[in-house]
Amino acid sequence: MAQAVLAVLAISGVAAMLALILVVAERFIARYGSCTIDINQGTRQITIEGGKSLLNVLTEEKLFIPSACGGRGTCGYCKVTIREGGGPILPTETPFLTADEQEQGLRLSCQVKVRNDLVIKIPEELLSVREYTAVCEKIEDLTYDMKRFILRLQEPDRIDYVPGQYVQLLCPPYPGSDEEVYRAYSIASDPAETGRVDLIIRRVPNGICTTWCFEHLQEGQTVRINGPYGEFRLSDNPAPALFIAGGSGMAPFVSILHQMEHAHDTRSVRYFYGGNQVRDLCLLDEMKRFEEHLEDFTFVPVVAEPGPEESWDGRRGLVTEAVSEEFDNLADYEAYLCGSPGMIDAAIKVLKSLGIDKARVYYDKFA
Ligand SMILES: Cc1cc2nc3c(=O)[nH]c(=O)nc-3n(C[C@H](O)[C@H](O)[C@H](O)COP(=O)(O)OP(=O)(O)OC[C@H]3O[C@@H](n4cnc5c(N)ncnc54)[C@H](O)[C@@H]3O)c2cc1C
Ligand code: FES
């Protein structure tokens, strides 16, 4: 028995040593020389020193690909098509690529290292994504762990976006974090104010970017964002809509509600917004204002369990429970969901059980 354990330990030790040698060799010895990347059939050609991830190379060239997890290979957002030179698909990519996508040459650009010449195709709309500098004009406390950051655009000083879309905020290195990372944040402002981008950010314990936002970013400081990105938006369909969000999932709905107000949209919308305690809910007054100004909008805040000191005469329970209590059948509805992956998966299950057409459920997972 002892011999078997020793053998396993020895094999594991050798494997770990080999992996370490490979990492060190890759980092300090491997030289790939100069590599050329042809983008969208010669629309652009770049020549760089090989060795970095394709995502990093494109970002350095100001070609911004959505990368919500900051290149960790966990969001699946950074897909590009590689026509030549990408090498085999890695096991880290397969969970995010359907058989069809693999067939078409789609890859996660954060996982592909540039080692030789590449021929790639990126979605046309991403070629128009721009980088913006902005001044953080105001930081407002919304709850104990959520803040609104009001960014005034400088260069360019206007942004065109569809309410529901998001931007990527650049978090620079700071004491405690030596890397530069991008994180996705939904635009939470009035689209009529094209020189302003509001972000509603919830603090994530030990999170790189949210720690920077909450502890280092100051009013008056210049920041960089790029965008806009994403397909999450209100459809043109006049069908009644159900909005479901939790925490900072409120963000895109603020922008969408402004858009509806400007358009005098008469569409029927029921918005279920959940939190564990009363202290987790934000912007209740702004939602009341939308109720007064929109023709058929109802806001339903739902609290799982009010804290011992909190008074609450609104709905209690999970937001998904509130939805199933309220509706028998959602076959005629569209649904828009925003928040944590857990909340969204639970909501989709409930919506399907209430007869909603899956093709009419739109969501942005804050993964
Ligand atoms: C489309 C989209 C829109 C979004 N909009 C918003 C929004 O409007 N508001 C908002 O608040 N958030 C939003 N998010 C989430 C946001 O992008 C960030 O994920 C979030 O703010 C956390 O970033 P962070 O850098 O602080 O945390 P991270 O450093 O990314 O860490 C997140 C968590 O993962 C853990 N972690 C860190 N490193 C690792 C690792 N190597 N392996 C495993 N776990 C690790 C951390 O401990 C932490 O718990 C959105 C996300 C998406 C995809
Ligand atoms: S950036 Fe998230 S998977 Fe590539």
Per-residue pLDDT of 166-188, as tens digits, reads 999 999 999 999 988 899 999 99
Average per-residue pLDDT in the chain? 93
Confidence at residue 197, expressed as pLDDT on a 0 to 100 scale: 98
pLDDT band at 69 (very low <50, low <70, confident <90, very high): confident
Confidence at residue 18, expressed as pLDDT on a 0 to 100 scale: 62
CATH topology assigned to domain 241-365? Rossmann fold (3.40.50)
Question: Is residue 106 in contact with ligand 2, taking CB distance under 6 Å?
Answer: no
User: d(Cα 361, Cα 296) in Å, to the nearest integer?
Assistant: 20
| Residue 29 pLDDT > 80 | no
User: Ligand 1: which atom is nearest the Cα of residue 184?
Assistant: 17
Residue 74 CA, distance from chain mean position: 11
**Hey, what long-range contacts does 278-287 have (CB within 8 A, 24 or more apart)?**
278/303, 278/306, 278/307, 278/310, 278/311, 278/312, 279/143, 279/144, 279/307, 279/310, 280/143, 280/246, 280/247, 281/143, 282/142, 282/143, 282/146, 282/200, 282/250, 283/142, 283/250, 283/254, 286/254
- For the chain, helix, strand, coil in percent to 5 are 30, 30, 40
Question: Is residue 197 in contact with ligand 1, taking CB distance under 6 Å?
Answer: no
| Residue 30 pLDDT > 70 | no
Q: Which ligand is nearest to the CA of 53?
A: 2
pLDDT band at 75 (very low <50, low <70, confident <90, very high): confident
User: d(Cα 64, Cα 126) in Å, to the nearest integer?
Assistant: 7
Residue ranges of the domains in the chain? 34-126, 129-229, 241-365
Range of lowest pLDDT (68-77, 113-122, 175-184, 232-241): 68-77
Confidence at residue 180, expressed as pLDDT on a 0 to 100 scale: 87
CATH topology assigned to domain 129-229? Elongation Factor Tu (Ef-tu); domain 3 (2.40.30)
Q: Enumerate residues 6+ apart whose C-beta is below 8 A from 352.
A: 358
Question: Which residue lies with its CA nearest to atom 53 of ligand 1?
Answer: 366
The residue whose CB lies within 8 Å of the most ligand 2 atoms, and thus the one to mutate among 58, 65, 72, 166, is 72
Burial of 45 (0-12, 13-18, 19+ CB in 10 A): exposed
| Residue 25 pLDDT > 90 | no
User: d(Cα 90, Cα 158) in Å, to the nearest integer?
Assistant: 40
Confidence at residue 72, expressed as pLDDT on a 0 to 100 scale: 87
More confident residue, 59 or 13: 59
pLDDT band at 125 (very low <50, low <70, confident <90, very high): confident
From start to end of the chain, where are the E strands?
Answer: 34-39, 44-49, 79-84, 106-108, 118-121, 130-141, 146-155, 166-171, 181-186, 196-202, 222-229, 241-246, 269-275, 297-303, 315-316, 334-339, 361-365
Q: Residues, the chain, total?
A: 367
User: d(Cα 367, Cα 361) in Å, to the nearest integer?
Assistant: 18
Question: Is residue 63 in contact with ligand 1, taking CB distance under 6 Å?
Answer: no
| Residue 22 pLDDT > 60 | no
CATH topology assigned to domain 34-126? Ubiquitin-like (UB roll) (3.10.20)
Q: What is the pLDDT of residues 284-303, one digit of tens each?
A: 999 999 999 999 999 999 99
pLDDT band at 115 (very low <50, low <70, confident <90, very high): very high
pLDDT band at 241 (very low <50, low <70, confident <90, very high): very high
